[in-house]
Amino acid sequence: MTSIEDLPSVIRHWIGGELTDATDRRTFDVADPVANTPYAQAARGSAADIDRAVTAARAAFPAWSGLSNRGRATVLNRIADAVEARHEKLAAFETYDTGLPITQAKGQARRAAENFRYFADVIVALGEEAFRQGGEQVSYVVRKPVGVAGLITPWNTPFMLESWKLAPALASGCTLVLKPAEWTPLSASLWPEIFAEAGVPAGVVNIVHGIGEEAGQALVDHPDVPLISFTGSTDTGRHIIRCSAQHLKTTSMELGGKSPAVVFADADLEAALDSVVFGVFSLNGERCTAGSRVLVERPVYEEFTRRLAERAANVRVGPPSDPATEVGALVHPEHYEQVLNYVGIGKKEGRLVAGGTRPDHLTDGNYLQPTVFADVERDARIFQEEIFGPVVAVAPFDDETEAIELANATQFGLAAYIWTSDLKRGHRIAHAVESGMVWINSHNVRDLRTPFGGVKASGVGREGGAHSIDFYTESKIVHIALGDVHTPRFGAAS
């Protein structure tokens, strides 16, 4: 475990291949979620810093976009090597900064490295389309990187989620400006040494820290950034889309979720229980795809709810650095208070069957015992609104029709989980549920080749696999005549 002496006291921007302070020298405090005490100062980016970063990215764009796909893939694989070489330090930083349990943080380096290796393979193997119109004409598609990409990333599992955007943007030939979340900038401080070690040319990647309303807003508003990829709250996503309309920017929005886990009476209840408990309480419940609404068929409702409450009560809440911990500290006092507020609301809207309080053995820090509310009505706030913490709402249903209705009864549509031994029914439900992703008898196992994203208030667009390459590139169609051209001769003399 990295000790406090190993942590940086200052987190600086990375612009044009150099570590730099904010133009106006401003900083903001970065605190850990256990002591809630500032341990570092981060550069507070402004519009001037964003402009410096965009200028550096534009200058680097011709050479980076002109590099062969194989050349960029080679660099991406070197980035993956550098990430993996720092896996212990990365996990320690991520745990310290976010409150994630160390056992869960340790997988982030591997997943981040795999993102770079995967897109290195994709960009080398990717072909371009061609079309033939008989013997008269042939047409072919040319992909071109869009330009400078603006990437705005969230505070939950920050390093890995940054890699989800960095890897396809770089593979596609874009240069970029990354704005990490202000609550969790620590692991992002590792990127400069990783990129330098991997030989990423100066200006290809630029990192500007700061407050979303300042640095993030400036990135969204900058006229020389034609593309914004954002992961975060639905309200912020709506705001970014409104602002992006001014310059007709392309946007990709991975937003909020209130995903249903639908459990039928014929399901393998033990497997479903394992999935539900892990799906809503892992990563401290701070995950967009959490199955935070559990819908259970009435014949097994009481049994499943009782067993869910028992499991929640036994989840180990403790210091993030303890390998035995399953739920650590929530990321920030502001977020912690918001989650506690929802717990208070839930006590009026449902039947509290587990948790709802701070664990007795943890007197300080942003800790909450995993919380289960039963008998929750569809119009309850804890059923409708994203809580983003270790809190789950449970409700019964009587038949397939009601299960679909309840699953779709929110503004969100990111993910859904279906548990049944009747695969025909599983497919019917999967097709009827309004969500971008569905898992049948599975618990959020990701395949990097597949599209990731939601519908309704959960997002706009898809990333993942070739969909990411589509987002970071423009397709140009070139038409070529193969024979004599017989165009109607308007205006020619008879």
Q: Which residues 6+ apart lie within 8 Å of 110 measured at CB?
A: 84, 87
Whether 254 is catalytic? yes
Pairing, β 27-31 against β 250-254: unpaired
**Ordered DSSP codes for 205-262:** EEE----IIIIIHHHHH-TT--EEEEES-HHHHHHHHHHHGGGT-EEEEE-----EEE
Tokens of 240: 């970014």
440: which strand partners? Answer: 418
Please report the DSSP string for 142-183 in residue order.
Answer: EEEE-SEEEEE--SSSHHHHHHHHHHHHHHHT-EEEEE--TT
Is the pLDDT assigned to residue 494 strictly greater than 70?
Answer: no
- The yes-or-no answer on residue 288 being catalytic is yes
Q: How far is C-alpha 330 from the geometric centre of its chain's CA atoms? A: 17
254, 286, 326, 386: the catalytic one is 254
pLDDT at 438 over 50: yes
The catalytically annotated residue of 214, 288, 386, 463 is 288
Over residues 319-371, the pLDDT tens digits come to: 999 999 999 999 999 999 999 999 999 999 999 999 999 999 999 999 999 99
C-alpha torsion angle, residues 32, 184, 391, 163 (rounded to 10): -140
Over range 194-220, report the average pLDDT. 98
Give per-residue pLDDT as tens, 297-323: 999 999 999 999 999 999 999 999 999
Q: What is the pLDDT of residue 6?
A: 82
Distance CA 276, CA 300 (A): 15
In which band, very low, low, confident or very high, does the pLDDT at 194 lie, cut at 50, 70 and 90? very high
User: Within its chain, how far is the Cα of 64 from the centroid?
Assistant: 26
Q: Report the alpha-carbon distance of residue 489 to residue 486 in Å, rounded.
A: 9
- Residue 181 contacts residue 480 (beta carbons within 8 Å): no
Over 80: is that where the pLDDT of 487 sits? yes
Average pLDDT of the chain is 96
Q: How many helices (H) and strands (E) does the chain have?
A: 16, 21
Please say whether the beta carbons of 389 and 368 come within 8 A.
yes
User: Each residue of 397-408: pLDDT tens digit?
Assistant: 999 999 999 999
**Digit-coded pLDDT (tens) for 244-276:** 999 999 999 999 999 999 999 999 999 999 999
Band (227; pLDDT cuts 50, 70, 90):
very high
The pLDDT value given to residue 2: 41
Q: How confident is the model at residue 493 (pLDDT cuts 50, 70, 90)?
A: confident
Mean pLDDT over 212-225 rounds to 98
* Stretch 190-196: mean pLDDT: 98
Answer yes or no: is pLDDT of 11 > 70: yes
Band of residue 282 on the pLDDT scale cut at 50, 70, 90: very high
89-134 pLDDT per residue, tens = 999 999 999 999 999 999 888 999 999 999 999 999 998 899 999 8
CA separation for the pair 188, 181 (Å, rounded): 9
Encoded amino acid at 422, one letter = D
Confidence tier at 1 by pLDDT (50, 70, 90): very low
Q: Residue 469: its pLDDT value, please?
A: 96
Residue 148 and residue 228: Cα distance in Å, rounded? 9
